[in-house]
Amino acid sequence: MTHAGPRLTPLALLERLVAFDTESQKSNLALIAWVAGYLDAWGVPYVRAPNRAGDKEALFCTVGPMRDGGVVLSGHTDVVPVAGQSWSSDPFALRVADGRAYGRGAVDMKGFCALALALVPDMVAADLRTPIHILLSYDEETTCLGVADVIARLGADLPRPGAVIVGEPTDLDVADAHKSIYTYRTTVHGHEAHSAKPALGANAVMAAAELVAELNRIADRMAARGDASGRFDPPYTTVHVGTIGGGTARNILPKACEFLWEFRGLPDLARDEIPALFAAHAEVVTRERLNRFGPYGRIETEEDAAVPGLAPEPGSPAERLALRLAGRNHTITVPYATEAGRFQLAGLPTVVCGPGSIDQAHQPDEYITLAALEAGEAFLRGLIRDCAAGWSP
C-alpha cells in the first residue's frame, strides 16, 4: 500500500508545532493527535504512551524495519511558561524575521522535533535498512519522566535501539556528558509559643537556618573537590537553596518553615552522598535544636525530582555516529540536564546533539535561526543515508 501524506517543510512543520500551547503544566494531547494523523498519512506505525492522569502522552514511531539496532531521535513536546515574559509577538504563532524563527519552543525543542517529522517522507522513500525511531515526550522541563514509560518498553514490545540522539540545542556539537539534577522540599515542623518563652516550643525558622547553613558547607565542600575531568562550567557539583518561608509573626515561635533546594551533580557523584550528609545533620538539628526542651519538632525532606546525569562513554555507537554526521572531532559537556541520562541508565548509548543554541531558550522572543534549521536538516539527511545503507552500532 502506497502512502502519500502532506509534505511540509521544516519551517512549516515548526509553525504547526509552535501553535500548540504545550507549557509543561498543560496537556500535549492535541499536538500528539496532530502528529499521529500526520504519521497515519505516511503509513508510519507508532505507539502512544499516556501518563497516569491521561492528560499527556509520549509518542514513539518507527520508519523502516521493526527490529533492534536502530537510531532514536528524541525530543520533548513541552515548553516552559510564557507568563510574566515580554514577547514582541504571540509566542504561539511562529514569526519569521531577520533569518530567525521566533516562538515558544522554537529552539527548545520543537525545532528538532519539526526537522525529524518533516523528513519522515524522505525516510519512507529511502527504504531504510536500519530503522529510525522518533520519540516525542512530555514533562522534560519539570521531571524528565515523560520518556520513562517508553524507555521501559524498548527491547520488550518495542525495538531496542543501538543509539539515541537527544536533540536539545547544542549548535550541533556532540555532548557526551551533563550534570544530574536532584530537587528537594524540606519542611521543618516546630511548636508555637510566645517568643519570650522559647523553652515552651521549638523555632522552625531557626532550625531551618541551621539546615541551610549546612547546605552552604556542603556546597563549599563540593566546590573544593572540583571536577577531575576539567570539562564542566562551573567545575564542581553545585548546591542551591531557591526559596524559604515560615512563621506568622515576629513574636511567635514559628510552627513551620519550608525551603526548596537542589544539587546539580557531576556524573561521578554518587546520588546519595549529598542527601546522606544533609540527613545526618538534620538528625542533629532535630535532637539538639527542635527537641532540646521537649518532643516538639521534626524535619521532613521529600525528593521532588530526580534527573540522572549523563556520563561520558568514549567511542560509543551514538558518539561515533553523531560526530560523523555533525562533522565534529571532539565532544563537549552541557550545563543543563536532559532526558539523555534516563536512556543511558537503561543501557542505551546516548548523546545530546541538536540545532540552535540553548542561549535562546526559556526567554522572551525565543528563536532558532534558519541557518540552524538548515544545518539540522543536513545532519538528519546524513542519518537517513546511513540508515538506508544499513548502519549498525
Active site residues: 78, 140
CB 338 within 8 A of CB 146: no
C-alpha grid cell, residue 45: 506505525
Rounded to an integer, what distance in angstroms lies between the CA atom of residue 286 and that of residue 218? 19
Helix (H) / strand (E) containing 388: helix 370-388
Angle ∠(19,21,23) on CA atoms, nearest 5 = 145
Would you say the C-alpha torsion 306, 307, 311, 315 has a positive or negative sign?
positive
Instruction: Tell the residue number behind the cell numbers 502528529, with chain if given.
Output: 35
Q: Which of 133, 160, 137 is nearest to 59 (CA)?
A: 137
Rounded to an integer, what distance in angstroms lies between the CA atom of residue 332 and that of residue 125? 34
Q: SS3 of 384, please?
A: helix
DSSP letter string, 209-265: HHHHHHHHHHHHHHHHH--TTS--SSSS-EEEEEEEEE-S-TTB--SEEEEEEEEE-
Instruction: Tell the residue number behind the cell numbers 499521529, with chain if given.
Output: 36
Tabulate helix, strand, coil % of the chain (nearest 5). Answer: 30, 25, 45
Would you say the C-alpha torsion 360, 308, 27, 40 has a positive or negative sign?
positive
Rounded to an integer, what distance in angstroms lies between the CA atom of residue 75 and that of residue 142? 14
Crossing angle of helices 110-118 and 10-18, rounded to 10°: 130
β 132-137/71-76 pair status: parallel
